[in-house]
Structure 1
């Protein structure tokens, strides 16, 4: 403004100065941007050295005082009532022997019988009046009668009253008959069956001192579980007669076959205990060698248990913690009960099957395992190479055309080659890309879900060249690792979005899958890898503009035109809901999070979310939705969004998850107002990332690594292998 304005129109001059000052401040303010999640340098699980010294000494046995029995709890019984309680009659008395002859027999009986039970019976017999007079006879060995006869073994319940005798014993002379004995009923104690054979317990006891000199290198949770098990159950599981037993060999075979399920057998290798010479030079026993044998057996026992548990841990949750890979992964690691796992192994009839059962139990994982075995048996496949940078358009000439046709011969379907048999037979290797050859290429593109435009570019070349068997094997191994991050059962009804395939599929038992093309996040705004539960279908939705888009994409326009959002029809409101003009907002304060503002686009034909959105609330603000930008679905590479998933057939997907018809969905949209339906049935949605995944036709699909996540996972697995092997 001029000098005269300053002198004669002071209010206008001051207002002009104020506006210019705001512009200077706005332009001087630093540009604020919201950064995307980042990838991390992977840190593998820590390995620890576990001391087993605590297990070297057997714990002191716990002494439990017998419980007192109230006198009134014992009711006397008549002989008639008591006799049937004996499960079997006493055996006929053996021939009379002298006490001296009876002694060896008594010693044997003493070793075999339950000592407490025999003592109890002896007390009951001597409690009779006449028994005291017989006590003046010659001394008797334990287990012998007053006539030198051994007392037969008694099983079952000993009732009160007279002892029942067999018919054979009824002929005993009167002077040898025992008077009635009044004694309380005694219930024989039945001990639980031991989980291991006694020899395993005794052998472990002989060797356990060597645990003082043995350490394990294992994952912390594995070491803890091993120590807890052997403290509770001190017995060999894998060693019999100082050598690996059949169960150990079954476990080692399962560990050696870990590659069949996408794991690395070297992570679970266990050295067999070496043979130890026990005989000394003079023919005696070499105690040093015996100790070495015990130590080798004990080390093998502990290491095999640790490796078996490590396998079961990896099989259930994966070797890699997904959330340590990047901020784009949101897959909390599973908890595995290793105490229960080793108990399960100890009692399993088929230990190998018990271990393998810890792998994912879904059809997709099993299909991957079958394909992995097939590829490893087949070896690498024949491939045709096409020069990098080739771009062949209809009507042009290119020397790479011969390789293109050769690749179609190799990779085209039988149906395709039959339909174009004349064209293929008539091609003689020329460079001219004729209309007949263009038609052949278009049909090849169609059957590979590519844009059928006849242009041979990078995506068509990738399909023509294919993926080598070695590359497929690597993709499968990485895919099998990723499956372990998901639930063991994916659900009878589910939506599966595979980002590298650019597809979303609704699956339900008993009906054909509904598969459609999708657009996912561009590389700078990658779609996260997570799973959740679908909750709502919203019709004629508002689009709440994410903070990152406000700051990164709208702020530059608002700098130039503070009223930009008002002009394009967006609503700007305060956190309390009061609508304000975008020109009245301090956007730099919003960008630096000093103040908060809400921006949303009204429903309508130009709304970024189109007719509907399907919500599964999550911290990433990702959902499935319609879009007015339909042309992008024709592209082969469809990574264009800010992270949300755009659906080619949103009405079809909404109808599927609601269990309604597309006509119903159309009627809800036609009402023209913002409304919603709740989604029942607890339907999970997997926003996943797999460069190998089974297709609806039964074939295995292989896809480009659009976000380079295969490379990050490959490095994480290598870091884990190095950490375990160090």
Structure 2
């Protein structure tokens, strides 16, 4: 029989093992943190041993190079060093190569390409290199030299990939056939810079060449030059002392360069309002000169936070293919803008209205197939059950007030007064509600169709005054187009045989219901860009669907 005490020890020990194996993070095996050599002439050999040890621990440590630093492509890194017999690549005899300085320059200034330095081990590398440059003992530390070498190699591979494919995850609407570089490509790139001594040459050609990306990059660099060394105070979002708040706001305007108080004893209301308008214009906020909640939130964001927002959008451009179609339609959902592009030139631009945060406009790729004049609007069931059925049950006259007719399963119109609406519900509704054409139709005069699984489309609207709003996320998901007439004329401009440009206007004058099939397929993309470059300046849009928050985690 097993000794009782021994039995308890066995159970307790098993319990400890069970606890350790269930949901507890595995503790990584740390490489030697210090290996001081007596003679610098021995350094390269000991560095090689330290690199060998560190690489051998990568797989055991689940891909981690250090306690909190995950290797980008562990196998590519290990294979590269194995080809070089695990020798150091960024230093010799206790001295960093000029190439290392060049790489550190790219890391420290990676925001210029829309990528945070933290992705490339900036903190760890800066601290280690400072030690190597200023501490006599550290210069003889083979473990520190090995750490710097591997981190630089990993950072280079990661930046190489990020420049072309982006740092964010591959999304469901990407147009790229490929999504990553092979290990061999990354190893060849690293070998290339070691031979040529030029990182810029290796990075050349990796970034997108789209006009939107290039203008965003240019604006990003200009923004950083203006604000990198500028700091400012934060403002309270709630306050009771109006005079104190005005003083704090004036100080913030001075710090941002929007207000010059030189020779001014008292900042009056007009001066302060003008300064606030300058800020609002720069950050694409409606320029009313009032420091409301939205303006205060924007004032309190750091320059780095704005830069990161621009970087997120550069990353979105990297998800597009290297070459876009010659002609396409691009809807920027948070920018409330539609653009028709031909050979890189914007041929048509229009304000749009998009879905609310609760009824989002989906991001998608498709082709424009046709457009319809004086279309019926088949009301989506989601709107029927959430909004219309309760109103109809209260008063059946609601249908006539909204120009709605009831259609049965056979396509026949039904007198709504013959229906017992109290017995209808989401689980039993054998009808379709259809809004008849005319000036009250929610789709307006024209509807543009493209195939998609969300049943969304572009269309005119019977409430055109809403295009004046600066915040235009207010539809049920479809995209309302202000310049619907210009868009229709553009789509048929090459169809001279039918003279459809003139025909469309005649049909509209007559109020004729028509479907115009397009003779060529024009790609349409619904995308999400919360920043763009315009005339060298960054233009920001609200993150209306909180999509930026998701990408921030990937970039940081």
TM range (shorter): 0.5 to 0.7
Q: Deviations over 1:497-554 (max 9, x none)?
A: 3333333222334755533322222233232334433332222222121221112111
- Mapped to 2, the partners of 1:49 and 1:540 lie a distance apart of 67
Alpha carbons of structure 1 residues 412 and 316: separation in structure 2 relative to 1, 3 Å? same
Q: Per-residue displacement from partner, 1:363-392 (whole Å, max 9, x unpaired)?
A: 2222222332233333366989999799xx
Distance 1:486 1:641 in 2: 27
Aligned 1:103-252 pairs, distance under 5 A? 213-216=56-59, 217=63, 222-223=73-74, 234-235=83-84, 239=88, 243=92
CA distance in 2, matches of 1:47, 1:609: 58
Cα distance, 1:458–1:564 mapped onto 2, change above 3 Å: same
Q: How far 1:694 sits from its partner (Å)?
A: 2.0
**Higher RCO (CA-CA < 8 Å; seq separation 6+):** 2
Following TM superposition, by how much is the alpha carbon of 1:647 offset from its aligned partner in structure 2, in angstroms? 1.6
1:653 aligns with 2:487: yes
User: Are 1:345 and 1:351, in contact at CA under 8 Å, matched by a contact in 2?
Assistant: no
From 540, 543, 546, the equivalent of 1:705 is 543
What displacement does 1:693 show? Answer: 0.9
Q: Distance between the aligned counterparts of 2:369 and 2:276, measured in 1?
A: 43
- Cα distance in 2 for partners of 1:682, 1:220 equals 44
* Counterpart-to-counterpart distance in 2, 1:257 and 1:380: 14
Deviation (angstroms), 1:651: 0.6
- Identify the match of residue 529 of structure 2 among 664, 670, 690: 690
Q: CA distance change for structure 1 residues 358 and 345 in 2, over 3 Å: closer, same or farther?
A: same
TM-score calculated relative to the size of structure 1: 0.51
Distance across 1 between alignment mates of 2:369 and 2:145: 57
Work out whether residues 534 and 683 of structure 1, in 8 Å CA contact, stay in contact via their aligned partners in 2: yes
Say which SS state the counterpart of residue 306 (structure 2) adopts. Answer: helix
**TM value normalised by structure 2:** 0.64
Q: Distance in 2 between matches of 1:342 and 1:362?
A: 24
- Distance in 1, matches of 2:493 and 2:283, equals 31
CA contact (8 A) 1:364 1:694 kept: yes
- Aligned match of 1:268: 120
Deviation at 1:479, TM superposition (A): 2.1
Contact 1:49–1:215 under 8 Å retained in 2? no
Indicate the residue corresponding to 1:508 in structure 2.
342
Q: Distance in 1 between matches of 2:247 and 2:347?
A: 37
Q: Which residue of 1 aligns with 2:189?
A: 345
Hey, what's the Cα distance between the residues in 2 that align with 1:655 and 1:609? 18
In the other structure, the counterpart of 2:451 is 617
Aligned length: 468
Residues 346-369 of structure 1: per-residue CA shift (max 9 Å, x gap): 674666543464333322222222
Gaps of 5+ in 2: 1-24, 30-47, 65-69, 130-140, 240-244, 260-264, 495-499
Number of the residue aligned with 1:335: 179
CA contact (8 A) 2:339 2:349 kept: yes
Measured after TM superposition, the shift of residue 684 of structure 1 is: 3.5
**Offset of 1:620 from its aligned partner?**
2.7
Q: Does 1:599 align with 2:442?
A: no
Q: 1:637 is matched with which residue?
A: 471
Structure 2 residue corresponding to 1:483, chosen from 307, 317, 331: 317
Q: RMSD value over aligned CA atoms?
A: 5.6
Q: Distance in 1 between matches of 2:370 and 2:380?
A: 19
Per-residue deviation, 1:251: 5.8
Partner deviation per Cα, 1:402-433 (whole Å, 9 max, x = no partner): 989x979x9999xxxxxxxxxxxxx9966699
Query: Is the CA contact 2:164–2:318 (under 8 Å) kept in the aligned structure 1?
Result: yes
| Corresponding residue for residue 513 of structure 2 | 674
Equivalences for 1:552-591 in 2 at 5 Å?
552-561=386-395, 565=399, 568-573=402-407, 577=411, 580=414, 584=419, 591=426
The counterpart of 1:536, out of the listed 350, 366, 370, is 370
Cα distance between partner residues in 1 of 2:441 and 2:188: 57
Distance (whole Å) between structure 1 residues aligned to residue 289 and residue 49 of structure 2: 77
Output the CA distance in 2 between the equivalents of 1:400 and 1:388.
13
